[in-house]
Structure 1
Amino acid sequence: MTEHVAIQTETFLPYMRDVTKCEQSLQELNLMWRVIEASAKMNCPSEAKTILPTMAATRTGFSRLERELVVSLVQEKVRNVLTEIGTKAQYVIDIVVRNLFERTADVGFLATDRELCNFVAGVTDSVEAIRFRLREYRNKYTVYDEIILLDTEGNVLVQIDPATPLEHSADALIAETLNADTYVETFRFSDLRPGKERALIYSRRMQHPQTGAVVGILCLCFHFEEEMAGIFSSHRDAEARSNMLLLDADNRVIASADKLWIPVGTEVPVNRDGNAALMLFCGREYLVRTVSSDGYQGYPGPIGWQGQVMIPVEVAFSGVISDVLTKLSPEIAEGLLSHAHSFCPPLYDIMTAAKTIQRIVWNGQVMTAGQRGEMLKLKTILDQISETGNRSNELFAQSIHDLYQTVLVSGMRDAEFTTSLLVDLLDRNLYERSDDCRWWALTPELRSALAQPAQDQATVDKMSNILAYINGLYTVYTRIFVYDRHGRIVASTGEHAADIVGGNIDDDSLRQVLSLRTQQQYYVSSFTPSALYDGKDTYIYHAAVRDLENEAVVVGGIGIVFDSTPEFSNMLASGITAKKNMKAFYIDRNARIISTTDSARAVGETLDIDPALLTIPNGSRASQVTVHDGEYAIVACSASNGYREFKVSDGYQEDVIAVVFESFGAVQGAGSQTDGRQYLLETDPTITDGNEYATFFSDHNLFAISAAHVVEAVPFSEVLPTSMGTRAEQIGVLNLRRDDGDGEGRRKEFVWVFDLGQMMRGTRSAVSGSSQVMIVREGEHTIGLLVDELHAVPQFNPAQIMHTPFAMQGASMLVTQVIKANNGQLLIQAIDVGRLFALLIDGQIALPPELAEAVAETAAPGAAADGKRAVELLAA
């Protein structure tokens, strides 16, 4: 496995300038640590004895970082690219399949149209009337560029495209369609569309209205090229660094976002497993993702079709990246970093390594603090340790910044793209609803029936049967109903239809329908609760039904009740498949929820979202980092822009915004990380015999303790939690291993760990990845102090140290002195170690060995819960 990763790293590293730069810096620092260690061994081996193990640990740490850090950076970048192009490949095929599913319903319904069947059967003979009817259909369903009626011999009876006049077809789809009980889907060259290399045709046989005999064929020719161009235009990356493709079962391109780059008909390499491997195509290496469809409502899509995105490796990791980190509040930025282990493991590894190296350098400086005489030989080496440690911190800070930004930008782009797809799915779906209501309003039987002053039962039954047949084919509706010009419902499908018939539609809908002037117009109710949908929120699409003899006269209307609850939920769920930390919403401009995958929120509620996101222009998308439901999250949204003429030029305006929240973890308490840049200490070369202090952060304030009392710092993760302490500030036990002094072995030493922040302010400190425990010793007593972050081990001359005016206000006051650093521009609070231990001795800070062992046993992870022995010892 390691060898495979190494090969991948070497493969991708040349295309990642930032990672290459990081690797070079690591190598330089590694060399510097080796030089410092070698100098110490040669120039002052005895004096350096105390810090040589620390330096060896540092060198080992850098050796590990050279191997693992760069690998992590490379893998994270490759993963981000593969995720992004994989998402786009999935959406290409999903949008196509959902669109073509509607075509299968269309051809099934239109092939049973009574007027068309009568004509094909020879019952009627007006070619112009039928051509007009087909063109009316095309005017509603603009996804078709040709509609053809043929007899059983392949003779063309009517077509609507004058550019390619046809008389006869010998295409094999004719025989196949005549023998099929359902639709036939054909994608290849066909003499029915002689001007195209390939045509996507949906055909179905037609039957005699009276006898049921097969009399001909209906062919709906889908405008495939125009549709794919629209998909590519909407969803391809703006920089055109990648190419979006649709492939057939033989991995040949059937649609390309850039035909000059990858032409139609070309066979391309595929990557169905999402492997992080480069693929060669025409002498150029690509990252590739290939995705098949899972189908939609039982329709699998054309056999073998696949969505694919290919991006050349030399541009895969470049591109303009906005500096999102500068826009984040420090609290959110720090909170996100606290969850790095879950949302970006490589970032967490870098942060951990940075803190480890910082602690090693800090400990090395503490160990040699106060040493005099021969130990002065270490002065130059200590200076080099400090300087190299600072360079190490700068490198890690930059690495953390770069990777942090990469992860956030990638996440925000992916979230934005997801919302773009979601709102596109909605517009495309509702476009079909606007088509359906207008076409069904042209049904002659409905027009004739509603033109009558009153409808007898036979007429009502006939209308009900027509509506039931339609509803059986178009299952996205819970109810289809017709009403007269007074708004009285005369026929309906769906549950409790008998209770619906005889009722009236609302006055506003009736007024809107009666005001429609042409067959191309329609009306959609607002997304509100409706008795026609069991009191739930939905859209109801209306079209005017006009008199057969005089189209200027509206004799009633047709209403179709969209099954919004499952349909919208399905769209949202399909858009965030496999994104387990993501929740999706459809909302209106007032943030009212239309649909949601969040079980904690209901349709009709108001979503808590930044008002600025509610005002984004149509067709635009945006994203932010925010706090949502007590968790740090990316929020992204896209505003609807319509599809074809729907919401674009048909007069209908109903903006919907798709929103997703991708969570990264719970909001933490008060932050602990501090911007160290504002606390940089200016060194004074004239100080040669000053007092050395170990400095650290607590509550974003800089504190100091005399380095003579500080042993070392250890990570907070080594603390064993226990509730056996007698003080609230006692948060756990630390198991230290100490030299016996004779060089023959090491012994265990257990010490209590106290929360310094709680001692000073009365509330428990928040723990983060930066939290450290300082080991502090006074005489025979040793304790651990939880602090937020380590800082430095500087020297200060006595003139820089002044007593505070509050030093005599009781023994509980721990800060008795203030250090004036940087010419008085920075004040550091110095903790009085004597007062600290005086305060704690009353709490019996020393642990007897037998009690320490018992505490460790009961506190250790996985230990038995029974702490009876330890409790007994404590009571004794």
Structure 2
Amino acid sequence: MQIREPASLQEPLPIDVFLPFMRDVTLCEQSLKELNLMWRLIESSAKMNCPQEAKTILPTMAATRSGFSKLEKELVKSLVEEKVRTVMAGIGTKAKYVIDIVVRNLYERTADVGFLATDRELCHFVAQPTEDGNIARARLREYRDKYTVYDEIILLDTAGNVLVQIDPATPLEHSSDPLVAETLASDNYVETFRHTDLRPAKERALVYSRRMHHPDTGAVIGVLCLCFGFEQEMQGIFESHGDDDLRSNMLLLSGDGRVIASADPLWIPPGARVPVNLHTESRLMRFCGREYLVSTYASAGYQGYPGPPGWMGQAMIPVDVAFRTALADLLSGLDPAVAQGLLSHAETFCPPLYDIMQAAKTIQRIVWNGQVMTAGQQGDMQKLKTVLEQISETGGRSNELFAQSIHDLYQTVLASSMRDAEFTSHLMVDLLDRNLYERADDCRWWALTPELRQGLAQDTPSPETLARFGEILLYINGLYTVYTRLFVYDRHGRILAITGPDACGDGSAALGRQVEPDTLARVLALGTSQDYCVTPFAPTALYDGRSTYVYHAAIRALSSNTAVGGIGIVFDAEPEFRNMLRAGLAGKANSQALYVTRQGRILSSTDERHPEGGTLTIDPALLALPSGQSASRITIHDGQYAVVACTASSGYREFKTSDGYKEDVVAVVYQFFGEQRYQGALVRGAVPAIDQGDTAPDAQEFATFICNDGLYALAAEHVLEAVPFSDVRLTPLGGGGRIGILGVQRTDMQQRFMWVFDLVQLLGKRATPPTPGSQVMVVRQGAYTLGLLVDELHAVPKFDASQIAHTPLVLQGQSMFTSGMVKANGGELLIQVVDAQRLFDWLIDGKAPAPGEDAVHAALQA
């Protein structure tokens, strides 16, 4: 649901502070107060007007009134906390992604500057700056044309004199910036973010600098500066991952809480100092006279690179708009059985929702019990009828309130989960495209290495040349660890130099191996140094028989620009893809993620049950999403209820957008809520109310209830009460449908025990595990009493004899315990009647196939 669950509240959440901004919860609170008052009035009325008749239900009513008073506060508190938690999780996800994406991008820059500073052509030029600077400038522009994240590249001598630059808009001659001296004194890269005379037109610039050495003597001769296009990059991040409804703002902050970059600079401008919330506390923070919920994340680093000192990602949302989310009606389009099955796990994924459901069950059971207790009673018991009518009416209002609260909170939780899963899948394809963009850049740039171009132009490169090839590749591979192998091959496709193990995955020698003919043809046909090609994601011996992408670029002769061979780089897909998926999930429990093709073939997965190379079973519409689009569903996956979200890749900068390469990948995220549970033909909410209409004075009262495949009725005179299934003591002494023992308090104040039977099993149906909402009806026939486990209580209606059709036992599909069918609501609703006499006769006669018959008889007579 979230990238990280918010930290537990260090202090109690100030409910009264947030409540004014939640109109729906405020209305719920008012309704709860009114209903609480009604329950108090009903209890007082029963005590005054019919104390003797009501004595059987007064204890239950007292407990209900007390529970309702507590619920009034706890329910509102839970609703507020859940809404605040949802908002905090949403902005926390955005804040974390801002800093994570930035740090991953800048990590690549630290590798770039280290590699380019050792480029022999550039080092030769800096060592002898009297040479033509146009050659060096052309080489730097070739680099920038491939690594388009840079808007300026500068070479300086040790005195700060500018030798060559590529941006003609701001011509430079000299720099007095201290970063020059700092870089010259360092044996590592230097990262600078502030105003600098190297980029005079910018208020601040992000520069990566590295000292350069003489190619022959090793003496320090100058400085290379790579100027990162920071503003453009941040704009792309904000546009890609920003808030569609413009309720929140995403920020990049410095260590002192000042805004470095803002998704909406007119709202919160760069340079402003904002409050930060690194501990994810659910409290309001003030900025410019407005109160906000704030989430802040510091960088966790990437591959040992910590990111610029103190940088943080942050998202802020004003509290006055934080809870104004217009939710789509998700439940109306969801299969009722799936909706009900998922809801049965509410205790796990949303405790406040579970509390509301349990409260609704309690109120419903009180009303139902009151009606069955007085079924068929006449005379003085009629005094209780008025009280029961009030209970029924108030109970109905309570049920409506709870049903609406359940519906709204359920939709809030699902919508939050779906939004978060979509955002996570979007991040995952963004990480993938950004990473593979760098791979396409690398192979094209390394193909321009002069020594490779000169060596391959020879018909038969010398052993010294081949040894030099190997040294170059080893040096590159040491800096760029995302590759398993780098290799160079001639125009005939024979590999002349390669890094990695001597043998390939099929046992053949790596050196001297032939590049596939179709790949070689594609490489030699590449038109310019900007072109590259990628092999499909498939098993290759160069990756030990595993699947990966291999990036290729043509190596051209220096003199004629004719393709004389190529360079291939084997991407280490298995760990790199898995790390991207895990980074997106960020340790989120009960979740898994995958990269798949448009055909559902798995490229990578965080779940061992769905390994690379397999096929994912998923809605085809999700795999067919337009590039850059996201969507989510409620589904059943691997036997569990889940939210599934997908995003189709759309490329990064020119990669996959305008460079001619097309290889769509879909990121898939699953968030699981619990195992699939069998749901019968009737689920709560799908059962219509019974239209009583006008019934005859001698109409019979029935207790109706739901079992997993339909609506059933039992003569109300046999039903004493209903209790929650949680009161049952389960026992291993099974058989014949017995599942446990129930203790009840008799009027003589003695505790009595009875067997509890699963009615579903007695009816010959497929038994299913009880849910937290399951109920046990206490049923009596003569001197015998037992408990019957059912799914839901329904109502206590009256039916005329004309509505009841008696059926013979031999009728196909009928249980031996059902004696008829009630045609309710004008015949549109059919209710099966369970015959208590037949049920008890069968159990008492000892026909239940189970041990301990004497114990059964004794328990039934309790």
Distance verdict in 2 for CA 1:414–1:847, change over 3 Å: same
Aligned to 2:233: 227
Whether 1:723 aligns to 2:729 is no
Whether 1:529 aligns to 2:539 is yes
SS for the counterpart of 2:830 is: strand
Instruction: Tell me how far 1:124 sits from its aligned partner.
Output: 6.0
Instruction: Tell me how far 1:700 sits from its aligned partner.
Output: 3.8
TM-score (norm 1): 0.93
List alignment gaps of at least 5 residues for structure 1: 741-745, 856-876
Whole-angstrom CA distance in 1 between matches of 2:147 and 2:8: 56
Aligned to 2:556: 546
1:569 to 578, 582, 585: 578
Matching residue's letter, 2:215: P
Partners of 2:728 and 2:741 within 8 A in 1: yes
Whether 1:803 aligns to 2:813 is no
Aligned to 1:173: 179
Distance verdict in 2 for CA 1:4–1:229, change over 3 Å: closer
1:439 to 425, 432, 445: 445
Aligned to 1:736: 744
Whole-angstrom CA distance in 2 between matches of 1:570 and 1:607: 20
Instruction: Tell me how far 1:699 sits from its aligned partner.
Output: 2.6
The total of aligned residue pairs comes to 849
Instruction: Tell me how far 1:178 sits from its aligned partner.
Output: 0.4
Aligned to 2:789: 786
Whole-angstrom CA distance in 2 between matches of 1:75 and 1:525: 51
Aligned to 1:859: none
Instruction: Tell me how far 1:249 sits from its aligned partner.
Output: 0.7
Instruction: Tell me how far 1:477 sits from its aligned partner.
Output: 0.8
Distance verdict in 2 for CA 1:573–1:3, change over 3 Å: closer
Aligned to 2:830: 827
Deviations 1:148-184 (A, max 9, x none): 0001011111111111111111101011100000100
Whether 1:761 aligns to 2:769 is no
2:525 to 493, 515, 518: 515
TM-score (norm 2): 0.95
1:196 to 184, 202, 219: 202
Aligned to 2:4: none
SS for the counterpart of 1:396 is: helix
Distance verdict in 2 for CA 1:357–1:848, change over 3 Å: farther
Instruction: Tell me how far 1:731 sits from its aligned partner.
Output: 1.2
Instruction: Tell me how far 1:295 sits from its aligned partner.
Output: 0.7
1:52-451 to 2 correspondences below 5 Å: 52-122=58-128, 125-451=131-457
Aligned to 1:463: 469
Matching residue's letter, 1:736: V
1:605 to 614, 622, 635: 614
Compute the RMSD of aligned alpha carbons. 2.4
Aligned to 1:636: 645
SS for the counterpart of 2:272 is: coil
Deviations 1:280-311 (A, max 9, x none): 11111111110011111111111110000001
Of 414-423 and 571-580, more deviation after overlay is shown by: 571-580
Matching residue's letter, 2:519: S
Whole-angstrom CA distance in 2 between matches of 1:187 and 1:824: 78
Aligned to 1:453: 459
SS for the counterpart of 1:219 is: strand
Partners of 1:620 and 1:639 within 8 A in 2: yes
Q: Percent identity?
A: 64
Matching residue's letter, 1:785: L
Whole-angstrom CA distance in 1 between matches of 2:377 and 2:12: 45
Partners of 2:292 and 2:319 within 8 A in 1: yes
Whole-angstrom CA distance in 2 between matches of 1:602 and 1:847: 48
2:590 to 567, 581, 584: 581
Partners of 1:293 and 1:301 within 8 A in 2: yes
Distance verdict in 2 for CA 1:408–1:811, change over 3 Å: closer
Matching residue's letter, 1:425: L
Aligned to 1:838: 841
Of 751-760 and 225-234, more deviation after overlay is shown by: 751-760
Partners of 1:694 and 1:706 within 8 A in 2: yes
Of 122-131 and 175-184, more deviation after overlay is shown by: 122-131
2:751 to 739, 748, 753: 748
Matching residue's letter, 1:733: I
Whole-angstrom CA distance in 2 between matches of 1:383 and 1:682: 16
Instruction: Tell me how far 1:609 sits from its aligned partner.
Output: 1.1
Instruction: Tell me how far 1:200 sits from its aligned partner.
Output: 0.3
Distance verdict in 2 for CA 1:387–1:677, change over 3 Å: farther
SS for the counterpart of 2:693 is: coil
Instruction: Tell me how far 1:589 sits from its aligned partner.
Output: 0.8
Distance verdict in 2 for CA 1:753–1:761, change over 3 Å: same
Matching residue's letter, 1:558: I
Instruction: Tell me how far 1:7 sits from its aligned partner.
Output: 5.1
Instruction: Tell me how far 1:679 sits from its aligned partner.
Output: 2.7
SS for the counterpart of 1:361 is: helix
Deviations 1:478-524 (A, max 9, x none): 11111111111111111117932212100111000011001100011
Instruction: Tell me how far 1:732 sits from its aligned partner.
Output: 1.1
2:707 to 682, 692, 698: 698
Whole-angstrom CA distance in 1 between matches of 2:34 and 2:144: 69
Partners of 2:293 and 2:317 within 8 A in 1: yes
SS for the counterpart of 1:393 is: helix
Deviations 1:205-256 (A, max 9, x none): 0011111110100000000000000000000121111100000111110000
Whole-angstrom CA distance in 2 between matches of 1:673 and 1:388: 25
Of 440-449 and 7-16, more deviation after overlay is shown by: 7-16
Matching residue's letter, 1:170: S
Matching residue's letter, 1:731: I
Distance verdict in 2 for CA 1:700–1:15, change over 3 Å: farther
Whole-angstrom CA distance in 2 between matches of 1:137 and 1:848: 86
Whole-angstrom CA distance in 1 between matches of 2:851 and 2:742: 11
2:599 to 590, 593, 609: 590
Partners of 2:706 and 2:712 within 8 A in 1: yes
Distance verdict in 2 for CA 1:653–1:833, change over 3 Å: same
Whole-angstrom CA distance in 2 between matches of 1:784 and 1:46: 27
Instruction: Tell me how far 1:851 sits from its aligned partner.
Output: 6.5
Aligned to 1:18: 24
Distance verdict in 2 for CA 1:844–1:61, change over 3 Å: farther
Distance verdict in 2 for CA 1:686–1:782, change over 3 Å: closer
SS for the counterpart of 1:261 is: coil
Matching residue's letter, 1:526: P
Distance verdict in 2 for CA 1:3–1:640, change over 3 Å: closer
Partners of 1:334 and 1:671 within 8 A in 2: no
Instruction: Tell me how far 1:333 sits from its aligned partner.
Output: 0.8
Partners of 1:30 and 1:63 within 8 A in 2: yes
Aligned to 1:664: 673
Deviations 1:784-837 (A, max 9, x none): 011111011122344433422448999972222333333443332222221111
Matching residue's letter, 2:17: T
Matching residue's letter, 2:38: M
Of 91-100 and 818-827, more deviation after overlay is shown by: 818-827
